[in-house]
Amino acid sequence: MYNLPDELNITKMFELFQQQHPAESLSYETYRMILNNKFNISFGYPRSDTCSLCDQINARLTCLDSKLQSGSGETAALERERALVLTEKEIHHRKAEVFYNRKKAAREKSSLDHSTLAIAFDYQKELPLPNKTTNDIFYRRQLSVHSLNIHELAGENVYIYVYNETVAKRRSDDVAYLLHHFFSNHVPAEVKHLELFSDGCAGQNKNWTIIRFLYARVHFWKRFETIKWSFPVRGHSYMECDRDLSMVNKRRQAETQQHWVEEFQAARKRPSPFNTIEMGQEDFFSHTEYLKPLFKQTCPVPTRPIREILFYSQNSMIFFYRNNWNAYKFPGQTPAKCCSNGKVDLQPLPALPSPLNELFGGEALNSKHFLENIRKYNAVFQLTSLGCKEANHRGCSPQFRIQGQLYHLIGSQHADGQNPSSFLLIYFLNDDDQVARRKSIFDSLLHPVLLDIQESLKEHHKYAKEIRCAYEFAASQDLQDFAIIIKESERPAGTHPGRYNKPDFKEDAVLMPNEPAGHRDIVLRLRDNGLRRISELHRAYDSLQYPLLMPFATDGWNLDLKMTSRYKITQNQFYCFHFFTRLGNYLLQARKLFQLYLVDAYAKIESERLQFFRREQNRLRADNYQNLKDTVVVRDSDPANVGQQVILPATYCGGPRYMFEKQQDVMAYVRKYGCPDMFITVTTNPNWKEISDHLLEGQHPHDRPDFLVRVFRLKLKQTMHALKNGCLGSVDAWLYNIEFQKRGLPHAHILLWMSRDSKIHPCMSDVAVSAEIPDKNQDPELFTIVTSHMVHRPCGALARHFFIETILASQRAKGSIAIATASTGLAATLLPGGRTVQSTFKVPLNIINSETPSCSIKKGTALSRVLQDASVLIVDEATLLHRKVIEAIDKTLKDIRSSSEVMGGLLTLLCGDFRQILAGY
């Protein structure tokens, strides 16, 4: 079988033949017949995609090009529209390429791995039969022959199931049974991984019946370990099945179904004839009725936007899918999370220009260095400064954390003369000085990478380019009283009367006299000693701060964005759309810069919510707080403060009323059911298959905090579903709390109140609790789980305790006083003569709120004399203590020991894992 390129049609081939053999007198029809009969090459059926959307896009581009050439219309507006159309075309082609690239990879994998089988299947064109009598009254009609083509991508084996329409239809039940027949009779037992490719016809293929059928193949019948099912975008669904049909002579006047079977068998000779299977009415089986008791009656997710479905034998409840923008989602997630069920229809970020595309994708020589230092590279190119207090862990900081408020600042066009240029001012230097200045900020950055990024932003970043052009224009005109203004909302081209006349300028940066501007506009004055805060509502808020993520200075969230309906898009909806895993979403490759962007976006969303509560105080007060008694009950006890502070409702997560409400819920459980019976902890495993399978090359789990929390949330949802449905017994009440570990991984603490019949009594402890490693031969799966996740390897803890005990023993052997303390009671019990820090130093309970922290120990007491005579103080797990506790101990020891030295001159060992320090401690 010969696979011809799409552009090589019969006409082109005949012209090439005539050029090569001018002496041969061969007609067009004879040439066509020879190709068909001798070489098994047939024409007349499409051998490539025919997409109406591509035709529409090409027509729009042709129209825009003609307008640009003729000079009709506003050139800047036409160029912007043409850029948008080109972006739309690129996105459409990329989505089409994903399906074909996935199919190509599956073909290569199945040819090398015999445990994997990749197939494409589809119903072929209906084949006619002549009119036949079908009943006793000689009612005549034309029958059709149905044929389902199943094409093995690696071996090129083709199986064609043939039956006429009196036997069965072309419905989902019929597809399910034909696949069942193929799996049972033609798929070797060694095949455990199946990859399917078909079009997205909802009535035949992409529907709840087939999804349930494939799910049952993995989880009920245990036939396959994984099934991966992919669908193309509309208009780009040409597959091997279509090529097979082009070999069949469909003009034959077949009298019976058997004639079409013979035609299929004779259509291909190499590499092997088509395998034709005739089906009878007794062969078909209704999978819909069989699967109905085992599943819900309707699909939990909309099937139309699905692009890929995966079934894992290790996970009985989750399968992934991609919607029409190729966003990875889970059925357990809210369907509206990524795009509000299609209401949020935003343009994705345009593709990165060179060389940023190569640096992000790992193709460039210095990609590894660039991605490891991406925050530094962004910092030297950002036009605004980031204002926040960073609260990362010392020694180990896989996550980016802040404490307090986050904001962006911008300065003037001229430096103060005392400090070197920074941020926006660097862009006003010449090219060589820009590179030198940026390298002086972080000497570890590479000169070639800085130069490449600088040239790319100089060409593409509209704000950096236009601000510099405006500055140079003002300098050339010797203007002294002017400001460069970036408007909050984009203006239509040609509407500003004072616009400077430069052919390549857009309406983004406007040169204006020093006059009042909009309260949200970004104003760059010639000289201004102060820094001004940028409004979070400005469209350039993100692109000025993250030039590497938005090299074209694409507009971010702004008040003009609307859904497909009349409602405006919220910041939460905007960032959810852009942060989901989508085709070409390079934001997810930005590692630590992506983490910074996540925190920044979250700060904007929270700021928007708080501003809403501030604006709606009157309505909140009227609905929820009727008198001063309510204020006193919720501990706003000073009547003078009523009406002067912002009230956060109980719906604000983490607010005082939210926490108070949750506390009341817990106490209600305890009051009715007593103490909880079970305490269960669920932690995140960064090596979960759902996480590891979707990391990009070179990424680590902490590079994708968005994916970590999504997978954990669904795993927790599964766990709670199992617990509530009696996997450990009948449950009367339950609750859980989600926290984040010191290294950024979420975990949950679950409390269960069991029913009377399911409570665990002391006599049942040995049955319910096992403190042994499971037998490897009897339960290998449980053995692997326990040894992998519940057995501590040798660690920064055993050696530390041995070291501490050695010091204590050596000092006490000499008759010296060695004080052993720890931050927790459990850690204190492990030390010889150990006590907690709080009890040893009489630390006040409210020390965190104290401006001058100190301990309640007075001079002359027995405890003070012990501290005066002590030779060493050991504080274990010191990283769990608040810094004010350490400050209070330092102040107390200085006072008792009458010494200004640190800790009053007492040798102090602060022990613990200093890579794990709580944020703000």
Whether 563 and 569 have beta carbons less than 8 Å apart is answered as yes
**675, 679, 720, 737, 883 from 751: Cα distances, Å:** 10, 5, 11, 9, 31
- pLDDT-derived band at 89, boundaries 50, 70, 90: confident
As a three-state string, the secondary structure of 447-511 is HHHHHHHHHHHHHHCHHHHHHHHHHHHHHHCCCCCEEEEECCCCCCCCCCCCCCCCCCCCCCEEE
| Residues 882/921, Cβ–Cβ less than 8 Å | yes
User: Cα(594)–Cα(605) distance, rounded to whole angstroms?
Assistant: 16
Question: What letter does residue 568 receive in the DSSP assignment?
Answer: B
Residues 195, 338: Cα–Cα separation, whole Å: 26
Question: Over 80: is that where the pLDDT of 99 sits?
Answer: yes
Q: Cβ neighbours of residue 769 under 8 Å, at least 6 residues apart?
A: none
% of the chain with per-residue pLDDT over 70: 78
In DSSP terms, 118 is beta-bridged to: 195
pLDDT band, very low/low/confident/very high, at 489 (cuts 50, 70, 90): low
> How far from 752 is each of 355, 712, 755, CA to CA, in Å?
55, 20, 10
- From CA 105, how far away is CA 296, in angstroms rounded? 34
Helix (H) or strand (E) holding 229: strand 226-230
SS3 sequence of 370-428? HHHCHHHHHHHHCCCEEEEEECCCCCCCCCCCEEEEEEEEECCCCCCCCCCCCHHHHHH
pLDDT of residue 635: 45
pLDDT of residue 227: 92
Q: What is the average pLDDT across 279-306?
A: 77
Spell out the residues 6+ positions from residue 523 whose beta carbon is closer than 8 angstroms to its own.
Answer: 483, 484, 485, 517, 532
Given phi > 0 = left and psi -120 to 50 = alpha, else beta, which region is 635?
left
Query: Which range, 48-57, 448-457, 760-769, is most confident?
Result: 448-457
Q: How far apart are CA 503 and CA 499, in angstroms?
A: 11
Residues sharing a CB contact under 8 Å with residue 781, sequence separation 6 or more, in sequence order: none
Helix (H, G, I), strand (E, B) or coil at 174: helix
540: left (phi over 0), alpha (psi -120 to 50) or beta: alpha
Q: 65 with 75: CB under 8 angstroms?
A: no
Mean pLDDT of 670-695: 88
Predicted confidence at residue 501, as pLDDT, reads: 37
Selection from 130, 166, 160 nearest residue 147 by Cα: 160
For residue 728, which phi and psi values (nearest 5 degrees)? -115, 5
- Give bridge partners of residue 275 from the DSSP assignment: 159
Q: Which residue has the higher pLDDT, 362 or 461?
A: 461
What was the pLDDT predicted at 83? 82
What count of residues does the chain have?
921
User: Which residues lie below 8 Å from residue 790, measured CB to CB, with a gap of 6+?
Assistant: none
3-class DSSP state of 162:
strand
What integer pLDDT is reported at residue 276 of this predicted model? 94
Amino acid 132: pLDDT: 53
Q: What is the pLDDT of residues 368-391, one digit of tens each?
A: 999 999 999 999 998 887 766 655
Q: Are strands 158-164 and 509-513 parallel, antiparallel or unpaired?
A: unpaired
Count the neighbouring beta carbons within 10 Å of the beta carbon of residue 446: 15
Q: What share of the chain is helix, strand, coil (3-state, %, to 5)?
A: 40, 15, 45
Residue 847: CB atoms within 10 A of its CB come to 16
Least-confidence region, from 16-30, 292-306, 543-557, 753-767: 292-306
Residue of 235 and 374 predicted with greater confidence: 374
Arithmetic mean of pLDDT, 742-761: 87
Looking at residue 3, its pLDDT comes to 47
What distance in Å separates the CA atoms of residue 860 and residue 893, rounded to the nearest whole number? 13
Find the mean pLDDT for residues 695-699. Answer: 82
Write out the H or E segment, with its range, that includes residue 126.
none
C-alpha to C-alpha distance for 150 and 161, rounded to whole angstroms? 8
Q: What are the CA-CA distances from residue 599 to residues 593, 605, 705 (Å)?
A: 10, 10, 11
Q: Is the separation of the CB atoms in 261 and 276 below 8 Å?
A: yes
Q: Of 513-527, 645-659, 812-826, where does the model show the most confidence?
A: 812-826
Q: What is the pLDDT at residue 387?
A: 65
pLDDT at 73 over 50: yes
What was the pLDDT predicted at 871?
94
CA distances from 778 to 128, 220, 222, 773, 784 (A): 61, 23, 21, 12, 12
Residue 694 to residue 692: CA distance in whole angstroms: 5
pLDDT(415) > 90: no
- Among 134-148, 211-225, 260-274, 562-576, the minimum mean pLDDT is found in 134-148
Contact 151, 158 (CB under 8 A): yes
Q: Which residues of 393-410 are buried (b: 16+ CB within 10 A; e: fewer)?
A: beeebbbbbbeeebbbeb
Give the confidence band of 48 by pLDDT, cuts at 50, 70, 90.
Answer: low
Greatest mean pLDDT range, 366-370, 502-506, 705-709: 366-370
Coil/strand/helix, residue 915: coil
Per-residue pLDDT for 628 more than 50?
no
Predicted local confidence at residue 13, as pLDDT = 80
Nearest residue to 179 (alpha-carbon basis) of 145, 144, 215, 154: 215
List the structure tokens of 30.
Answer: 């004879």
Bridge partners for 835 per DSSP: 821
Q: Which two tokens stand for residue 75?
A: 């050139």
354-358, 443-447, 667-671: which has the minimum mean pLDDT? 354-358
DSSP 132-152: EE-STT--EEEEEEEEEEEEE
Q: Give the distance, in angstroms, between the CA of residue 505 and the centroid of all CA atoms in the same chain.
A: 36
Q: What is the pLDDT of residue 549?
A: 93
For residue 246, the model assigns a pLDDT of: 83
Calpha distance 196→120 (Å, rounded): 6
Sequence-ordered list of residues with C-beta below 8 angstroms from that of 128, at least 6 positions apart, any chain? 142, 143, 144, 145, 254
For all residues of the chain together, what is the average pLDDT? 79
Q: Output the pLDDT for position 395.
A: 46
Q: Comparing 8-12, 101-105, 431-435, 502-506, which segment has the lowest mean pLDDT?
A: 502-506
Average confidence (pLDDT) over 391-405: 53
Helix H or strand E encompassing 158? strand 158-164
**E strand segments, 9-139:** 116-123, 127-133
Residues in CB range of 189: below 8 A, 6 or more apart: none
User: Which pLDDT does position 251 carry in this prediction?
Assistant: 77
Q: Give the range with max mean pLDDT: 191-200, 572-581, 616-625, 646-655.
A: 191-200
Shortest CA distance to 107 belongs to which of 180, 231, 196, 47? 196
Q: How confident is residue 176, by pLDDT bands cut at 50, 70 and 90? A: very high
Q: Report pLDDT for 634.
A: 46
Query: Which of 211-220, 578-587, 887-896 ranks highest by mean pLDDT?
Result: 887-896
Distance, CA of 274 to CA of 61 (rounded, Å): 43
Please count the helices (runs of H) and the strands (runs of E) in the chain.
Answer: 30, 23
**What b-and-e string marks burial along 339-350, b requiring 16 or more CB atoms within 10 Å of the CB?**
bbebebeeebbb
Asked whether the predicted pLDDT for residue 499 surpasses 50, the reply is: no
What is the DSSP track for 706-737?
HHHHHHHHHHHHHHHHHHHTTSSS-EEEEEEE
Res 817: pLDDT: 94
Q: pLDDT band at residue 26, thresholds of 50, 70 and 90? A: confident
Residue 509: CA count within 13 A, CB half-sphere: 24
703: Cβ–Cβ under 8 A, 6 or more apart, which residues?
591, 592, 594, 595, 695
Q: What is the pLDDT of residue 49?
A: 61
Please state which of the ranges 17-31, 253-267, 288-302, 310-324 shows the lowest mean pLDDT.
310-324
pLDDT of residue 671: 92
DSSP-assigned letters across all residues of 512-564: EES----TTSEEEESS-SS-EEPPTTSTTHHHHH-TTT-TT----S-TT-B-S
- CA 355, CA 224: separation in Å to the nearest integer? 43
Q: What is the pLDDT of residue 238?
A: 84
313-326 mean pLDDT: 58
Longest dimension (CA), the chain: 123
- Is pLDDT larger for residue 397 or for residue 143? 143
Identify residue 222 by its one-letter amino acid code: K
Q: What is the mean pLDDT of residues 282-291?
A: 80
Give the pLDDT confidence score for residue 163 in this predicted structure.
Answer: 92
